[in-house]
Amino acid sequence: MVQLKDFTRYERARILGARALQIAMNAPLLIKISDEDLEKIKFDALKIAETELESGVLPISVKKPLPKKKEGKLQKVVVKQLTDEQKAKMEAVEEKDIGEEGELMELARPDDEVEDEVSGDSSSDDYE
């Protein structure tokens, strides 16, 4: 028998939802519940399904796919460790490439932005 802890919360939700739907559609109950207990849970199909699941009477099976085996030999992956000197050389080459290819940009100055607005060269005049 499958234990409740063997189900993930998603599997549990799916099982309870499916069984509650069956009970709501007048399927016969799989356990004997007294009228008093039904009134306590207010004839809630989800609570009844949860009681059935906890008692272990639900004929439910969950298919969980297992990982597939790869054919052939396993290969060991070797990770190349870089020394500090090699890292420094690589960084120097990258910085040189960036310096040659990259475009130097200046920081925006607030004074420049204010002058543009005051000069009246805005393109908003076209929309009036």
Query: Which residues does the chain have with pLDDT short of 50?
Result: 116-117, 128
Distances (CA, A) of 62 to 8, 12, 37, 65: 10, 10, 29, 10
Alpha carbon distance 120, 17 (integer Å): 67
Domain 4-55 is found in CATH 1.10.10.10: no
Token pair, residue 40, equals 């306590």
Which of 40, 53, 38, 47 is closest to 2 using CA atoms? 53
What does the pLDDT look like over 92-109, one tens digit per residue?
Answer: 988 888 777 766 666 777
pTM of the full predicted structure? 0.49
